[in-house]
Amino acid sequence: MSQFFENKKNLYIAVVMILVLVLVISIFIYLKVFKDKNLDENLSKNNIPTEYKLELGVLKSDFFQGLARYGKYPIEPRFPGRENPFEPYE
């Protein structure tokens, strides 16, 4: 009977060690991946890369100015549906 408890104890120790190992590896990978991606240090208001800047010239283009609304606003549904959608059909 003592051999059963000893094997069960070894099993629990092995499971705990595996979980600790997975946790340590996960922390290492997290720190390795996100080490260089700190946006607060790399970017400031004056040092924004060009691919992230908003170009407002698009809003002044003839195409954008020519866009207009058509139809009636606000849109009303054609078929409002049933008052209680969960009521059985008769």
User: How does pLDDT run along the chain (90 residues), one tens digit per residue?
Assistant: 456 556 778 888 888 999 999 999 998 888 877 765 555 555 555 666 666 667 788 888 888 888 887 777 777 777 777 888 898 987
Which residue, among 23, 19, 43, has the nearest Cα to 31 in the 3D structure? 23
Return the pLDDT at 67. Answer: 84
Task: Return the pLDDT at 1.
Answer: 45
**pLDDT value at position 65?**
85
Q: CB of 24 within 8 A of CB of 16?
A: no
Distances in whole angstroms, Cα of residue 41 to Cα of each of 37, 45, 55, 78: 9, 11, 24, 54
